Structure 1
Amino acid sequence: MSMLLPDAVAPLGALFLIILSFFTSALTAAVGIGGGVVLLAALTFVAPPAALVPVHGVVQLGSNTGRAIVLARNVALRLIVPYALGAIVGAILGGMLVVELPGEVILLAIGVTILVTTWMKMPPLGKGETGVLAGGGLVATFLTMFVGATGPFVMMILRQSGLPHTRLVATHAMAMVIQHGLKVVAFTALGFAFADWAPLMIAMIASGFAGTLVGARLLHKLPEATLKKALNIVLTLIAIQLILRALSELI
């Protein structure tokens, strides 16, 4: 198995990520958000900092594509079109500015982003207004080039449209497909060696799709409010841990 893995990843760490991909995809399919952030945090223990955002992007592209396919009939395309236009601009700007940051800076940025997006309350911006969606796509895709964990922010933008839960989860999945797809294109153009990570990413995408099928069956069957409160606590603890790790290396 080790022959199929990048030098920086141990077989046990790879197995952990493959299993976790199943559960995080199931979580996101059932609740709408959270799984991608948890997976990104787990990657910080297994993968080198420079690989975190691009590898996470490919895995999340696969996971969200599966979710978007399973829930395709529920996607609100009227929200997706302006979001996609903004996302294209954000990817171009991010691709022009992205640099290889020190590992501790990446961890700090991810931790702060998770903390802010978990607890930030979005002010009323209008129900599905084109400018809001385009601006959200631009900002989210620009930020994801550096920190990866922008799913909760995208959900806050889309939630303003007042969509019912199933349509919201489906539309969020499609928005993340666009965002992560553009990010992967950008990192490919920047020369990231995706081939070295291909076997692990394929295995994580496959287990993630299985998790999506399970999670989609649990829509409306789980106590959503309770799960979200618990998820917020977990994400907060993850963010604090990442920030403390980063600060211990910076100081």
Structure 2
Amino acid sequence: MIDVLTSLPEGLTAVAFGGLIAVSFVSSFITVSFGIGGGTLLIAMMATLVPPLVLIPVHGVIQLGSNTGRAVLLARHVHWAALPGFVVGAVIGSLLGGMMAVEIPPQFVQIGIGCFVIYSVLSRPPKWLAAWPWLSGGVSSFLTMFFGATGLFVANFIKSMDLPRHRHVATHATLMTVQHALKVIVFGFLGFAFGGWVPFIGAMILSGLVGTVSGRLLLNRMTDHGFKRALNVVLLLISARLIWGGLMG
């Protein structure tokens, strides 16, 4: 830990590092327990403590590590049928996002995603979400190049398949692993230098893995009905926060 503190990137204090390590644990605990929420919480906190130019790429690597750990831990529950179409869309969306020379105003993305998810929770997720995984992969992967945390959109796609709680969390983690891996590759080709952030990223991933293992204990104690109710509450709260942040932005 001392070695990590002495090699912190410029612009990141030891106090900020300690706070983000705690947030990484909590965010992973929330995500594996309720299926969603951790990535949004993490990027919201990182946005106040990490230099803006590195926020999206570094958050992407941390989320890649966290989601990989979740996917491996719950691998036997993954709904693999959702993967091929999503991957095709994700590749296309990531490449298009990486080639865009303009940045989409984040407040528009926040309001749009928030309204769509609230509509889907209060009614029923549109049937095309389950039928068109490539569209969910493409749209969410395109937006994540600018916005960072689009797990909410992917969670709604998985929710439309009405999976049991373990399969929901495992499938979400697997799809997000693919999405964040593609994002990191694209940022690497665009010339982002991850090297100076490696110790920080490693510590954040390790903390997140501890949170994942802890959160699985709560997931095991839930019922599918309780999980779906909790998921809807978390989706509504995050969506409301996104819309509010977008309007204030």
Q: TM-score, with normalisation over the residues of structure 2?
A: 0.86
Tell me the equivalent position of 2:141. 141
Conserved in 2, the CA contact under 8 Å of 1:24 and 1:34?
A: yes
Greater CA deviation, 216-225 or 204-213? 216-225
AA aligned to 1:112 is: I
3-state secondary structure, aligned to 1:33:
coil
Tell me the equivalent position of 2:114. 115
Tell me the equivalent position of 1:86. 89
Equivalent position to 1:44, from 47, 51, 60: 47
Alpha-carbon separation, structure 2, partners of 1:94 and 1:201: 23
Alpha-carbon separation, structure 2, partners of 1:216 and 1:45: 29
| 1:124 paired to 2:147 | no
Equivalent position to 1:96, from 64, 78, 99: 99
AA aligned to 1:125 is: K
AA aligned to 2:68 is: T
Structure 2: which 5+ residue stretches go unaligned?
A: none
Alpha-carbon separation, structure 1, partners of 2:243 and 2:13: 24
Conserved in 2, the CA contact under 8 Å of 1:98 and 1:146?
A: no
Tell me the equivalent position of 2:179. 179
| 1:75 paired to 2:78 | yes
| 1:29 paired to 2:43 | no
AA aligned to 1:140 is: S
Alpha-carbon separation, structure 2, partners of 1:123 and 1:233: 17
Conserved in 2, the CA contact under 8 Å of 1:98 and 1:145?
A: no
| 1:58 paired to 2:45 | no
Tell me the equivalent position of 1:229. 233
Conserved in 2, the CA contact under 8 Å of 1:58 and 1:180?
A: yes
3-state secondary structure, aligned to 1:136:
helix
Residues 206/109 of structure 1: CA separation in 2 closer, same or farther (3 Å cut): farther
RMSD of aligned Cα (Å): 2.4
Percent pairwise identity:
39
Q: Following TM superposition, by how much is the alpha carbon of 1:195 offset from its aligned partner in structure 2, in angstroms?
A: 1.0
Which whole-Å deviations, capped at 9, do the CAs of 1:132-170 have from their partners, x for residues lacking one? 101110111011001011101001112212211110110
AA aligned to 2:174 is: M
| 1:219 paired to 2:219 | yes
Count of equivalent residues:
239
Conserved in 2, the CA contact under 8 Å of 1:65 and 1:174?
A: yes
Alpha-carbon separation, structure 2, partners of 1:43 and 1:183: 18
Q: Following TM superposition, by how much is the alpha carbon of 1:120 offset from its aligned partner in structure 2, in angstroms?
A: 3.9
| 1:240 paired to 2:244 | yes
Q: TM-score, with normalisation over the residues of structure 1?
A: 0.86
Alpha-carbon separation, structure 1, partners of 2:116 and 2:206: 28
3-state secondary structure, aligned to 2:142:
helix
AA aligned to 1:22 is: F
Q: Following TM superposition, by how much is the alpha carbon of 1:118 offset from its aligned partner in structure 2, in angstroms?
A: 4.9
Conserved in 2, the CA contact under 8 Å of 1:31 and 1:228?
A: no
Which whole-Å deviations, capped at 9, do the CAs of 1:68-91 have from their partners, x for residues lacking one? 000000001111111111111111
| 1:9 paired to 2:38 | no
Alpha-carbon separation, structure 2, partners of 1:231 and 1:77: 24
Alpha-carbon separation, structure 2, partners of 1:69 and 1:44: 28
Greater CA deviation, 219-228 or 82-91? 219-228
Tell me the equivalent position of 2:164. 164
AA aligned to 1:159 is: K
AA aligned to 2:233 is: K
Residues 117/193 of structure 1: CA separation in 2 closer, same or farther (3 Å cut): farther
